[in-house]
Amino acid sequence: MTQVIVLNGGSSSGKSGIVRCLQAVLPDPWLALGTDTLVEAMPASMQTSDGGIGFASDGQVVVGPEFRTLETAWLEGVAAMARAGARVIVDEVFLGGADSQQRWRKALGELPVLWVGVRCDGAVAAGREVARGDRIIGMAASQAEAVHRGVEYDLEVDTAHAESMECARSIAAHVK
């Protein structure tokens, strides 16, 4: 039985909308957790130190060792919730591509996971980024393909060609 759904896609690719739709269409309650939750939980000083997380003016994201330490604890915590019986949808941005997925694989261990790639053409995501007004311009374009490099998925959806609900229904059909 699927315990964790990991959605990976770049900024403004549509992951959060899919998560909300998944919570609406899946028959059991699922917790929604993601990288934005982790970053928001960190002290503001983590965004001003070299060891934390930095957002460059061109949209690049740089993470340091203090961020990685907290991220490891976060991954283990999410995995512990799933092992305790919670069904979890993870909204993630694999900045390190395959290396990021490997960190999740290590934390999740033998838990049944559905790995989902959320693709979106960089130009479409960039347009959404501008419309949102809460992201650094350039983040969506720089992440659109990079987050998928070397990542293995059970399923991929494309939000440039399908609405969030359609993507969620496609994902839900693969949940056991």
Q: Does the annotation mark 36 as catalytic?
A: yes
Q: From CA 148, how far away is CA 95, in angstroms rounded?
A: 9
Q: Is residue 22 packed enough to be buried (19+ CB in 10 Å), middle (13-18) or exposed (0-12)?
A: buried
Question: Tokens 């957002």 appear where?
Answer: 55
| Whole-number Å distance between alpha carbons of 139 and 122 | 10
Q: Locate 145 and state its tokens.
A: 């393909």
Q: Which of the following is catalytic: 36, 121, 154, 158?
A: 36
65 C-beta neighbours (distance < 10 Å), count: 10
User: Among residues 125, 121, 75, which one has the least CA distance to residue 101?
Assistant: 75
Tell me the C-alpha distance between 88 and 80, whole Å.
Answer: 11
| Residues assigned a catalytic role | 36
